[in-house]
Homo-oligomer: A and B are copies of this chain.
Amino acid sequence: MIRIAVDAMGGDFGPSVTVRACLAFLDSHPEAGVVLVGQPDVLATQAQFPRIQSHPRCQVLAATEVVTMDDPIEVALRRKKDSSMRVAITQVKNGSAQAAVSAGNTGALMAIARYVLKTLEGIDRPAIATQLPNAAGGATTVLDLGANIDCTEDHLFQFAVMGSALVSAIADKPSPTVGLLNIGEEAIKGSEIIKKAGELLRSAAKSGDLNFHGNVEGNDIFKGVVDIVVCDGFVGNVALKASEGLASMIGGFIKAEFSRNIFTKAAAIVAYPVLSAFKNRVDHRRYNGAALLGLRGLVFKSHGSADAFAFERALNRAYDAARNNLLERVQERIAHAAPLLAKAALGPAGATGAEVPVVQADPMPAH
């Protein structure tokens, strides 16, 4: 049985969201189990707690501490050693669970996951990957979203490999297409690092390690030109947040125009079914659950403000990743592409292997 370890205390709403989401998840996944980690006294205040506590496929595990949204990474990592977040990740480490999900502080989650699980062989830096809806009716997976601000071509290449493994596992696409985010489609565009990453990706495409589409531009993320868009964490974070800002502005404008006067309010009633169909189509909750890739264990990050519906989506995603052996897929692909990286490393601009800070930016404060 695949078990998901859940940090019940994380996120803006803690157990009031996580417990309900876990129950719904267990209902819809008769083969799955949950390890629910939290402070017993807080969990006990939840109306639905007795139901989950007595659930045959749920194990409740006590943790005495909670990582808060503004805990510095050092505090989360060094001082709160019995946090619900850490205990959940430890379940993955010791094999009691196949994936961990938390809606808590992203920086702390990445730091603890990296410390407890370590990175996979061949991966210099873990990355954060999320899905965004696209005009083609599917989703585009974008990485990195803020774990790494300065990336070499090797890092970008590893992101491409990990992203391909993720999409092949979760979206059931055996050979998803990869685009390198750039400021023009031509191979001569961009910084030296981008150009070298492009060369690596083209070599990998030739040897069948990747399905490399070529350079893509910012608008292609939402056009759905490729399955995976690869970029450094600074660019990815800015692009994601700019998009969130724009979506929220547009939503605000639509609302404002429909509430202007009695006539527009009447129009809103008539248009309601259409507007809610539209809203459903761009509902970011459906895409909740960012993957922390490159670790020796599966960890998924839910938005802090997720409701039970959104949190359940993150649980589903973690379950699909575990069920489809995401970890093995990443490992296999990285091992297969290793000769390419080794060859590139002989050049002057190979990976330095230097240790870097764990997480630079929280990709998801805005929803």
Contact = CB atoms under 8 A, between A and B. Distances in A.
Interface of A: 133-135, 146, 149-150, 181, 183-184, 189-191, 217-223, 231, 233-235, 237-250, 252-254, 257-258, 260, 263-264, 266-268, 270-271, 273-275, 277-278, 281-282, 360-362, 366
Contacts of A271: 258, 267-268, 270-271, 274
Q: Which 4 A-B residue pairings sit nearest by Cβ, starting from the closest?
A: A218-B241, A219-B245, A183-B361, A218-B242
A247 B246 contact: yes
Query: Which residue, of A246, A267, A361, has the highest number of chain B Cβ atoms within 10 A?
Result: A246
Nearest to A261: B274
A217 B189 contact: no
Contacts of A135: 245, 248-249, 252-253
A213 to B, nearest CB: 16
A282 B245 CA distance: 13
A265 B277 CA distance: 14
A257 B270 CA distance: 13
Contact of A244 (B150, B218, B233, B240): B218
Contacts of A189: 360-361
A219 B235 contact: no
Contacts of A241: 217-219
